[in-house]
């Protein structure tokens, strides 16, 4: 039974990871969890829905909210993604505003700073300059000043989500700011995504990795069947959706070569995530302009009532 005294010196809370696309939000979440739960790719707008990463320590539970990058939307999907990020800001006990410290502030950074400023509540905000591994100290100091002018009350910290430099320092600071209270989730839960959701994200991540420029944003993945064959193996049947007939041919490739490559990269990642042998079957389906179709968005789980 849970008693008050059991959690008397326990801290727990929600931390929103927000920022423009591609600054490293999902990489940071995976780094803090020391486990890969979120899709990461060199392409912007990889993350489409909010995903929780739950880190349970001895005397604290920190619930990270990985969000889609805020950007200028051109589709209903984009509008949904921005809304998801906004909602997360409102739920946060602490905000980690992530920026790319290896580049000067962009228009999207300015807009996000303005959104954070406009919040009715004002939680602690970290101006987190990521990718410090790519710049020298002098340039980093310059960048810090440039970003600070956008949101002066944010506390600056430089990190690298890839090399994990300073990630522990950030984590300690986050822990110190969490409100007192018991855990929200059981200690063995690390994300609110089911294995099949993560599998779909890993397949999409593999597709983004192998496909060339214009196609990735029009790609979505749905797992149609995820059946456990035994404790040590699973069968996955998934559909890759594209929004143009010509893209279908590209995703399949000559003699099915591209689809095979996507499948084998995804399979390795899913096996590492789930700890079992995976049989993966992929098919490709065309649904023109799906990013503007509410039905298709719901079918894919891009809907605010998905919880």
Ligand X SMILES: Nc1nc2c(ncn2[C@@H]2O[C@H](COP(=O)(O)OP(=O)(O)O)[C@@H](O)[C@H]2O)c(=O)[nH]1
| Residues lying near ligand X in the complex (CB under 6 A) | 19, 21-27, 40-42, 46-47, 69, 130-131, 133-134, 160-162
Choices 6-14, 38-46, 164-172, 192-200 (CB under 5 A): range interacting with Mg ion: 38-46
Tokens of 272: 């590492």
The alpha carbon dihedral of 273, 88, 2, 32 has a sign of positive
Residue closer to ligand X, measured from CB, 200 or 252? 200
Q: How far is the CB of 29 from ligand X (least distance, A)?
A: 8
Out of Mg ion, ligand X, none, what residue 255 binds, judged by CB under 5 to 8 A for its kind, is: none
Residue showing the smallest CB distance to ligand X in the complex: 24
Q: Which is nearer to Mg ion, 98 or 278 (CB)?
A: 98
Measured from the CB atom, is 93 or 108 closer to ligand X? Answer: 108
Q: Least distance from C-beta 130 to Mg ion, angstroms?
A: 12
Residues 40-59 that bind Mg ion (CB under 5 A): 46-47
85 or 251: CB nearest ligand X: 85
Question: Which residue number, 68 or 183, has a Cβ lying nearer to Mg ion?
Answer: 68
Would you state the structure tokens that stand for residue 203, as one six-digit string? 């397949």
**What is the closest distance, in whole angstroms, from the C-beta atom of residue 17 to ligand X in the complex?**
8
Please give the Cα distance from 128 to 150 (Å, whole number): 13
Q: How far is the CB of 191 from Mg ion (least distance, A)?
A: 14
Query: Which of 39-47, 99-107, 121-129, 147-155 is the region at the interface with Mg ion (rule: CB under 5 A)?
Result: 39-47
Q: How far is the CB of 132 from Mg ion (least distance, A)?
A: 19
Contact 116, 151 (CB under 8 A): yes
> Out of Mg ion, ligand X, none, which partner does residue 218 contact, by CB within 5 to 8 A per kind?
none
Among Mg ion, ligand X, none, the one that 27 touches (CB under a kind-dependent 5 to 8 A) is ligand X
| Residue placing its CB nearer to Mg ion in the complex, 70 or 116 | 70
Nearer to Mg ion (CB atom), residue 26 or residue 160: 26
Among 17, 20, 26, 226, the residue binding Mg ion under the rule CB under 5 A is 26
Residue 60 Cβ, how far from ligand X at the closest point, in Å? Answer: 24
Query: Considering just the CA atoms, what is the radius of gyration of the chain in Å?
Result: 20
Tell me if 221 sits within 8 A of 203, measured CB to CB: yes
The DSSP secondary structure of the chain, one letter per residue, reads ---TGGGTT-EEEEEEEE-STTSSHHHHHHHHHTS--S---SSS----S-EEEEEE-SSEEEEEEE-PPP----SHHHHHHHHHHHHHHHH-SEEEEEEETTS---HHHHHHHHHHHT-SS--EEEEEEE-GGGS-HHHHHHHHHHHHTTSTTSEEEE--TTT-TTHHHHHHHHHHHSPB---SS-TT--BSS-HHHHHHHHHHHHHHHHS-TTSGGG-EEEEEEEEEEETTEEEEEEEEEESSHHHHHHHH-GGGHHHHHHHHHHHHHHHHHHSSEEEEEEEEEE-TTGGG-HHHHHHTT-SGGG-
Q: Which is nearer to Mg ion, 47 or 128 (CB)?
A: 47
CB of 161 to ligand X, least distance (A): 4
Q: Which residues bind Mg ion (CB under 5 A)?
A: 25-26, 46-47
């Amino acid at each position: 039974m849970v008693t008050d005294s059991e959690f008397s010196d326990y801290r727990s809370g929600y931390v929103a990871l927000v920022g423009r696309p591609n600054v490293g939000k999902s990489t940071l979440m995976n780094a803090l969890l020391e486990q890969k739960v979120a899709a990461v790719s060199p392409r912007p707008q990889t993350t489409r829905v909010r995903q929780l990463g739950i880190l349970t320590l001895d005397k604290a539970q920190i619930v990270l909210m990985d969000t889609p990058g805020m950007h200028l939307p051109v589709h209903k999907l984009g509008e949904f993604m921005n809304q998801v990020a906004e909602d997360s800001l409102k739920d946060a006990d602490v905000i980690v505003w992530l920026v790319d410290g290896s580049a000067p502030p962009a228009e999207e950074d300015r807009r996000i700073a303005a959104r954070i400023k406009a919040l009715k509540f004002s939680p602690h905000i970290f101006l987190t300059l990521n990718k410090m591994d790519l710049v020298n100290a002098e340039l980093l100091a310059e960048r810090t000043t440039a970003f600070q002018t956008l949101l002066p009350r944010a506390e600056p910290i430089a990190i690298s989500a890839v090399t994990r430099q300073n990630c522990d320092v950030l984590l300690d600071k986050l822990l110190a700011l969490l409100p007192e209270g018991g855990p929200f989730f059981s200690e063995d839960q690390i994300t609110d995504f089911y294995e099949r959701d993560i599998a779909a994200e890993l397949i999409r991540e593999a597709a983004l990795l192998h496909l060339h420029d214009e196609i990735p944003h029009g790609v979505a993945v749905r797992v149609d069947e995820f059946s456990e064959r035994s404790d040590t193996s699973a069968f996955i049947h998934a559909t890759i959706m594209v929004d143009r007939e010509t893209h279908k041919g590209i995703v399949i490739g000559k003699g099915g070569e591209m689809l095979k490559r996507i499948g084998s990269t995804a399979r390795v990642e899913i096996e590492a995530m789930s700890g079992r042998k995976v049989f993966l079957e992929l098919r490709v389906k065309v649904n023109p302009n799906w990013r503007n179709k509410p039905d298709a968005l719901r079918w894919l789980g891009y809907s605010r009532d998905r919880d």
